[in-house]
Structure 1
Amino acid sequence: MSEAFGFREFGGPETHVFFDRPDPVPGPAEVLIRVTAAGVNPSDYKLRAGMAPALYEGRPFPQVLGGEAAGVVLDVGADVEGLAVGDSVFGSALTGAGTYADTTVLHGSYTARKPEGLRDDWAAAIPVAVTTALDAVDQLDLPRGATVLISGVGGGVGLVTAQVARDRGLRVIGTGSTAKRNAAEALGVTFVDYTSGDVPAQMRTLVPGGVDGVVDLVGGPSLRTLAPLATHREKVVSAADPTVADLGGAMVIRRADRADLERAADLLVEGRIDPHITSYPFAQAAEALALVEGGHALGKVVIDMTTAAA
């Protein structure tokens, strides 16, 4: 049996529940892992709220939260190549099995071996936060010296995106709340506090001619306010809001396959990216998710699954 944290029906935090479930059985393309760390993402509470009910069709509640994890392989599906029992790995649970649990199944093609020197909590941040940042900056394909604007720069994806952009020789401007200023500025980001006034006016002072690219991590009104600041609308990408297409931009094209995971891991091991982890024990999984859901998380939130829930 596996202890898990999830939700007993679609809704808000009141639906959260710890429960036991049988260890999942990996399919031919999957690996079963003992989870050591699980990443927390906005998609977790959105799925709990009923954003994609078809994902859970035909599956009884309660459902397990979470979509990314690090851990140790316990079993390998017949079609999985390059992974073996006992390997330390990290990857995505595109299977819908959830990762806030003692054991789960990951998709073999979206799982990679964890290199020596990479902490489990850092590895658990890679499948969503780090690869999203890499994919976004890759997609913009801006030349060295260009200026990129990142909305929501203080979150789990935002701080990594700032570091990837800086590593590519880009000038980085980022928007966020006052509490995120110090962390962003420590990375060399020119910070714009959206709580202190008219963001477009602040931006026109900083870059009168506009920015070369925009990475939107917030969506909604923020996207519609910031997209016009790009000198070319096709250089606006969003990881949060598909209506970016209506503005001439595009959603971030996600990969997160094994090659992408390995590339991201190398950047962390080399010290070129720090995911800025805030770790919670498994017993405080609800508090970890609440921090992300409230928009107050600085950097990436990870659940330490090596601590007992009760």
Structure 2
Amino acid sequence: MPKAYVYRAHGGPEVEEFADLPRPVPAAGQVLIAVRAAGVNPVDWKRRSGYVPAGATPPPLPAVLGSEAAGVVVEVGPGVTDFQPGDEVFGNPVTGGYAEYTLLPVELTARKPAGLSFVDAATLPVAAATAYDGVHQLGLPPGAALLITGVGGGVGVAAAQIARHEGLRVIGTASPAKRDFVESLGAVHVPYGPGAGDQIRKVAPEGVDAVFDLVGGDALAEAAELLEDRRALITAADRATVQLLGGQPVERKRNREVLEAVAALAVEEVLLPYVTATYPLEEAASALRAVEDGHAQGKIVIEVTG
């Protein structure tokens, strides 16, 4: 039977394991794909730990890890006319991406452009799409200053590039070790941690026009103090805190149009995925640890042998 990497209960890494699962069968509005690559995101280990995103329903256990995948359609569900077997696609799986096969809902599935690899396509459905939604939610004019907290991770890297493409000035907080990387994105680097607010005021004495937070907690609260208008404060990391501060969570569009938009930016090389490491499915645990430990730079991707 097909192999998948699952969590059998909510908890830490100890609840993860490989499992042989029946090949999923697509229902109406779904396609079954043979996975070629799966992106690794913080939300993967958070869901394993018991986190349930707003509006989501916890999956039955054991549950396959992974929230973005790219592959080849092998079967379509009843009523599906947008795709057919053999199509190369990417999207947000409903049965987990760390697997040889998974199901994608057609509304969250897009065709993979020929000029885009499966590995790069697998970085787009969560990280790049979240970044795209957040930058456009803020709707800043060219020349405005955007602060991105946690700019060195997958969402931050994409957000910096999209913001720069929109003509924004970007300031990003990240570890000192990521300074060169952050500056390569066209952003001004500020080391995160205590006192980051003072450092941001030094590099942006005229202030910042908006904050795109990817860290939450104290970093989010400190960044909020830099804004005159808290409506320009958004987060993809800490829904509860941002609402207390007068800001709002990133409003995810979750549709095919956004997937097509970020894929077009990637093909045009406006949006570089910055995949810094790939792992075979057999090393899914190591791939997830690289992200869960908080030291990953750019994107981590699991490759599945076709």
Matched residue type, 2:258: D
Distance 2:185 2:58 in 1: 40
The CA distance in 1 between the partners of 2:296 and 2:79, in whole Å, is 38
Q: Deviations over 1:227-267 (max 9, x none)?
A: 12123211111111112122121111111311111111000
Contact 1:80 1:109 in 2 (8 A): no
Residue 227 (structure 1) aligned to one of 211, 214, 224? 224
Structure 2 distance, partners of 1:181, 1:140, is: 25
Q: Tell me which residue corresponds to 2:75.
A: 75
Per the alignment, residue 153 of structure 1 pairs with 151
Task: Describe the SS at the equivalent of 2:190.
Answer: strand
Partner of 2:233: 236
Q: Which residue of 2 aligns with 1:163?
A: 161
Matched with 2:251 is 253
Deviations 1:287-310 (A, max 9, x none): 110111111110011101127xxx
The amino acid across from 1:298 in the alignment is: Q
Q: SS of the residue aligned with 1:200?
A: helix
Equivalent position SS for 1:39: strand
CA contact (8 A) 1:211 1:231 kept: no
Moved more, 231-240 or 132-141: 231-240
Question: What SS does the aligned partner of 2:128 have?
Answer: helix
Secondary structure at 1:182 match in 2: helix
The residue aligned with 1:301 is 300
Aligned equivalents of 1:153 and 1:102: distance in 2?
31
Deviation at 1:194, TM superposition (A): 1.5
Deviation per residue, 1:127-148 (Å, 9 max, x gap): 0011111101000100000100
Counterpart CA distance in 2 for 1:68 and 1:90 is 8
Contact in 2 for aligned 1:143/1:170 (Cα 8 Å): yes
Q: Aligned partners of 1:77 and 1:230: how far apart in 2? A: 48
Residue 282 of structure 2 corresponds to 283
C-alpha deviation, 1:210, in angstroms: 1.9
Stretches of 4+ moved more than 4 A in 1?
none
Q: Report the aligned-residue RMSD.
A: 1.5
Q: What are the residue-to-residue correspondences of 1:122-271 with 2, within 5 Å?
A: 122-195=120-193, 198-243=195-240, 244-271=242-269
- Equivalent pairs, count: 302
Aligned match of 1:34: 34
Unaligned 5+ segments in structure 1 are none
Alpha-carbon distance between aligned partners in 2 of 1:232 and 1:124, rounded to the nearest angstrom: 36
Percent of pairs identical after alignment? 50
Instruction: Determine the C-alpha separation between the residues in 2 that align with 1:189 and 1:170.
Output: 10
Q: Are the equivalent residues in 2 in contact too, given 1:233–1:248 (CA < 8 A)?
A: yes
SS for the counterpart of 1:55 is coil
Instruction: Return the letter of the residue paired with 2:200.
Output: M
2:289 maps to amino acid? A
CA distance in 1, matches of 2:254, 2:114: 20
Number of the residue aligned with 2:111: 113
Using the alignment, how far apart are the partners of 2:178 and 2:284 within structure 1?
23
- Give the superposition deviation at 1:279: 1.2
Deviation at 1:56, TM superposition (A): 4.0
**C-alpha separation in 1, matches of 2:227 and 2:290:** 31
What is the rounded CA distance, in whole Å, between the counterparts of 2:279 and 2:156 in structure 1? 20
For structure 1, which segment, 222-231 or 162-171, has the greater mean C-alpha deviation from structure 2 after superposition?
Answer: 222-231
> SS where residue 79 of structure 1 aligns?
coil
Alignment check: 8 A CA contact 1:73 1:87 kept: yes
TM-score (norm 1): 0.94
Aligned to 1:55: 57
Moved more, 230-239 or 268-277: 230-239
